[in-house]
Chain A
Amino acid sequence: QKEVEQDPGPLSVPEGAIVSLNCTYSNSAFQYFMWYRQYSRKGPELLMYTYSSGNKEDGRFTAQVDKSSKYISLFIRDSQPSDSATYLCAMSEWDSNYQLIWGAGTKLIIKP
């Protein structure tokens, strides 16, 4: 079993829909939770990160962490075709940025 599980998709939704992307993990020591976005043939770029539990909002994006369930989510409101990309979750324990553990990524397609 992988330490971080993420459905590879593809997930296809119409423009304007609310998108929910999720990851589950098994290591209860993870403290930092990150979402990266990767456009086709590009490197990943950090979208959001949260520390420990709770929610964080940035514009149309909301990241949620539920440590009791070992489950994290990224919500995208009013989705746009430009949001079409692969979304990767990544996690690490406290003070170990070099040990990011990555999900396989979910490919998201927003249909105009």
Chain B
Amino acid sequence: NAGVTQTPKFQVLKTGQSMTLQCAQDMNHNSMYWYRQDPGMGLRLIYYSASEGTTDKGEVPNGYNVSRLNKREFSLRLESAAPSQTSVYFCASSESSSGPYEQYFGPGTRLTVT
């Protein structure tokens, strides 16, 4: 039981390059989330998927796209990376998007855009 896994763990991009961050969970959770974490800013929600087949914007969606491939997998794509997207990205999942259900986090992807 791996929980939430993310790939890659580290990535360096040049401005304008694209990449996809992968996330998978094996807990049969319905809801999945993508956050970014910057020093002094806490966690900010980029996109979330309340259930398979649905996605919605969070607080900071500009410059990102997502795909809920199936119940297990939720990917985040940067189409044209910018230095402002240098951050640590976390994927999370929960049983539901309503109520106090615990969110389980992956280990994160450290992205640097030069």
Minimum CB–CB distance for B56 against chain A, Å: 8
User: Judging by beta carbons under 8 Å apart, are A46 and B98 in contact?
Assistant: no
Task: Count how many chain B residues have C-beta atoms less than 8 Å from C-beta atoms of the other chain.
Answer: 29
The distance in angstroms between the C-alpha atoms of A104 and B39, with both chains bound, is 8
Within 8 A of A (CB), among B65-114: 90, 92, 94, 96-108
A45 touches B (CB below 8 Å): yes
Minimum CB–CB distance for B111 against chain A, Å: 14
Query: Which B residues are closer than 8 A to A by beta carbons?
Result: 4, 31, 33, 40-45, 48, 50, 56, 58, 90, 92, 94, 96-108
Known: A44-B105, A46-B103, A98-B56. 20 other contacts (CB 8 A): A6-B42, A34-B100, A41-B108, A42-B108, A43-B4, A43-B90, A44-B43, A44-B90, A45-B104, A96-B97, A97-B31, A97-B94, A97-B98, A97-B99, A98-B48, A98-B58, A98-B97, A98-B98, A100-B103, A102-B42
Q: Could you list 5 examples of A-B contacts with CB < 8 Å?
A: A4-B42, A44-B90, A45-B105, A98-B97, A100-B43
